[in-house]
Amino acid sequence: MEDALLRIREVSKHFGGVYAVNGVSLDITHGGVCGLVGPNGSGKTTLFNTILGLHRPDQGEIYFHGECINNLAPHQIYELGLVNAFQLPRLFYDLSVLDNMLVAARGHQGDRLFNSLFLRRRWQEQEKGLIEEALDILELVELDKWVSSPAGELSGGQRKLLEVARGLMAKPTLLLLDEPAAGINPVLGKKIFQKLADFSHNGITFFVVEHRLEILFEFASWVYVMDKGRIAIAGQPQNIIGDPTFYTIYLGEE
């Protein structure tokens, strides 16, 4: 698709003689929630890490906004608006929820020595704006009551929400999420995905690895199914569910 936000063409990544990702091609278009599913060991996380620049692809090309990002460092890919939220939240547990959000914001003027010494009013005004943005996002993910609490005091589900909120604070164009509903109750899992769907209306696109298929399929507009390092099938959730290949992949039966 020419208008795809993320285009992957024949990408492979191997470790020794084992191909974790083997000739994968896919497109992520602007807006909505797109899913990536498959059994453990199918290559989903390796594909994500390759997109993010943590691994260099051995073959193939990855394009974001039409630019090849194969040889870019992770921080350069981040600067383009491609952001990741981790499966296990990587928070600053001794810092408050609000401070965790502010750390994730882009372009702090006060980080520059000249600005901090001579342009104090400018960065202080920016800081006020960032705090307002953070509070708005925390309210949307229902963490505003814990804004002053250390992140380490949050429950597992709340930490997941904060990790997603931090990703949103970075103002991504495309946010990659690795199992946002893992290890939490189904009600909270659905709430997280509902928040993703809400934010997608504001121009953010989500590419999500998820094992809780019943939740993902309710909110995703398109799903890719990986098996043994390849994309086996792709389509709308209702079509995936009706495809015998899907059950062969997961159950190992024809």
Identify the pLDDT of residue 219.
94
Reply yes or no on whether the pLDDT at 2 is more than 70: no
Domains of the chain, start order: 1-81+172-254 (3.40.50.300), 92-169 (no CATH)
How does the average pLDDT of the chain come out, rounded?
87
Compare 159 and 62 and report the one with higher pLDDT: 62
Q: What is the share, in percent, of the chain residues with pLDDT greater than 70?
A: 88
Phi (first) and psi of residue 70, to 5 degrees: -50, -45
pLDDT by residue (tens digit) across 67-94? 999 999 999 999 899 998 865 667 888 9
DSSP string spanning the chain?
A: -TT-SEEEEEEEEEETTEEEEEEEEEEE-SSEEEEEE-STTSSHHHHHHHHTTSS--SEEEEEETTEE-TT--HHHHHHTTEEEE-SS----TTSBHHHHHHHHSS--GGGSHHHHHH-HHHHHHHHHHHHHHHHHHHHHTT-GGGTTSBGGGS-HHHHHHHHHHHHHHT--SEEEEE-TTTTS-HHHHHHHHHHHHHHHTTT-EEEEE-S-HHHHHHH-SEEEEEETTEEEEEE-HHHHHT-HHHHHHHHS--
Examine the pLDDT at 112 and tell me if it is beyond 80.
no
- pLDDT mean over 134-142: 85
Q: Is the pLDDT of residue 243 over 50?
A: yes
Mean pLDDT for 188-204 is 85
Please say whether the beta carbons of 76 and 67 come within 8 A. no
The answer on pLDDT for 96 being more than 80 is yes
d(CA 108, CA 166): 15
- pLDDT top residue among 115 and 22: 22
Q: Which of 138, 155, 156 is nearest to 147 (CA)?
A: 138
Average pLDDT over residues 219-231: 95
